[in-house]
Structure formats: C-alpha cells, structure tokens
Amino acid sequence: MTFDRFEDRGLGRIELEGRDRNGSPRQRDDERMGKVYERIDGRLRTFIEAQHIFFTATAPLSGDRWPGTTGLYFAEVELEAPAEEGLYTWSVKCAESDDGIPHDEGSVDFGVRVVGRPEYVVKVETVDKESRIPLSGARVVMHPYRAVTNERGIAEVWVVKGAYKLFVSQTSYITFGLPVEVTADMTARVELDLEPVTERN
C-alpha cells in the first residue's frame, strides 16, 4: 500500500490516505481506510522525515482513448500546488497491470515551478525593425513568466516586483535581450532584426 495523500493541518496534525497498488482506496467494513494523527512525533516523525517522495494523488485509467489515438488511455488527477515558492520535480508513475486495460509499467518526471502572485503587468510591443510591422507569435520570456504576442504584436506579462532579463524571440529574427527592473506597470517596445541570410556556394 502507498500513501497517496499527506496533509499537514497545523500543530502536527496529519492525514494519511491508503490506496492499493491498483489505485483503489483500501476498504475496511465498507469504509475508507484512513487514520488521523493529532501529533507528528516519535517513530512517525522519523519515518516521514526519512522519505524523499510522497504520493500526492492517484487515479484509475479512464476507459476512453485520447482523441486522435487508437490506444492511448489517460487519467485526470487534480493536484494542489506546494505552498512554498521554488522549483519542484514531480513524477507520474503507472504500475503494470493485466486487469481492465493491460499496460506495462511506466513513469515520467516533470517540473513544477511555484511563483508568487503577480503584482505588475509588463506590456511588450514587438515589431520588425525595418518595416515597423507588428510581429505576432513572438515569444516573450521574463523567467519564469512568459507570454506570446497577439496579432498586434503585443504581449502582457504579469510578474512580481524584481529584476528580470527580458527575452523576445521569433522565427527568422535575432533574439532580443534586455535587463529590466519592475517596480510598477511598464511598457517595453522591442524592435527585432532579421537574421542575416547566409549565402551558399
């Protein structure tokens, strides 16, 4: 059995919800098997602090196939973001099964970055330097925030106060970079140069 939910409710109170290998909640007398601890101490605290991975959610594969495929099944899982800002690595794992929808074991890692609530908007206007024509579809990055310009060449990036490096890139153009300090709403106009054409012999 794995613990698929670990919740700290303050003053050391936690809840652990148990699930079987196939993702179904374990049953005892037709009720969910779970236990509430009012304090985290002793052997329980030692055990929890020694863990490097917590199972946060599970879901069975749906009987439906992903649109446009003939054999790709999926499951939808709702997760709660970590409370503290930072970069986290989460894993999705699927155990091997011969029941229902047979499948091999598989896993994939993905990154989750938790950022502060944006305070200010940076409006970026992007044009071709020669023609002054607005460039749509340009990628605007103020790490970790990003946006794409619309048909008028404008993108709005909501960010928290701080120092950033503004990058704007578009196919066939030289990438633009500029350090900016955000202390209020602001507008930046970016003129992109076309990449030089390389002559071939």
Q: What is the pLDDT along the chain (201 residues), one digit of tens a residue?
A: 333 344 443 333 334 444 444 444 444 333 333 455 566 677 766 766 666 666 667 777 777 888 898 878 788 888 888 888 888 888 887 777 776 667 778 888 888 888 888 999 999 999 999 999 999 999 999 998 999 999 999 999 999 999 999 999 999 999 999 999 999 999 999 999 999 877 666
Q: What is the pLDDT of residue 4?
A: 39
The answer to whether the beta carbons of residues 6 and 16 sit under 8 Å apart is: yes
Rounded Cα gap, residues 174 and 64, in angstroms: 44
Going from the N-terminus, what domains does the chain have, and what CATH number goes with each?
A: 1-58 (no CATH), 59-114 (no CATH), 120-192 (2.60.40.4130)
Reported residue count of the chain is: 201
How far does CA 121 lie from the centroid of its chain?
A: 21
Q: Which residue has the tokens 């120092």?
A: 163
pTM of the model as a whole: 0.54
Cβ-contact 65, 71 below 8 angstroms: yes
103-129 burial string, b = 16+ CB within 10 Å, else e? eeeeeeeeeeeeeeeeeeebebbbbbe
